[in-house]
Structure 1
Amino acid sequence: MQFYFYLAVIFSLVVAVFAIQNSQLIAIKLFFWQLPEFPLAVIILGAALAGAVAAFLFGLTNSLKSLKLRKELKEQVKSLEEELVKSKEAPKEVPHAEPKETEVGTNQPQQTNNA
């Protein structure tokens, strides 16, 4: 986890240095929409911030799904453990089957009807 934190800090520093070195004013146009001129540093930092927020939201949804799955699996484990305890406590009833009697010497061929 610390590795990702340090990686994020290094990336943030690189973005900040890049933004400071590119401080000229630019206008942003998208189809019929146009922003007034802003420093390039503000645009770059805004884009980096938007990307960080998007990554956080995607990570958050993944974390919430994992949390929900973990909760469901814990409930399933608890249920199975209770079932196991009940099965160990219940007296085991083994049905006593009567052995089948076999007839010795009854190897008679089956009759076929050739009518």
Structure 2
Amino acid sequence: CYGEFIDTLEPTDVGADMAAGSLIKNIGGGIAPTGGYIVGRKDCVTQASYRLTVPGIGGECGSTFGVMRLLYEGLFLAPHISIEAVKGAIFCARIMELAGFEVLPRYNDKRSDII
């Protein structure tokens, strides 16, 4: 979580068999009220879907109780909102450095999340 849309590589691009995250944060644009995702190797995702839901349901259900509009809207807005959070973090880091505070990461450091 918190790293989606921030770096050019995702965990599954660098060897992770599976990754999971929340739709409430980056991917949901901060407006999705619920939901999550699992990505990666098909066998890992299938196994996780059966262990994290009701037995026999697997990945055949999801967060659809009247919130689909917000999920899609959040997904649409997510890249813009995520980069704005990065810009805000960079701006804040620079202002704090100019005010004499030690900042980590510095304003010009590479960022891979927005925590």
Range into which the TM-score falls when normalised by the shorter chain:
under 0.3
More helix by share: 1
Structure showing greater relative contact order (alpha-carbon pairs closer than 8 Å, 6 or more residues apart):
2
TM-score (norm 2): 0.27
TM-score (norm 1): 0.27
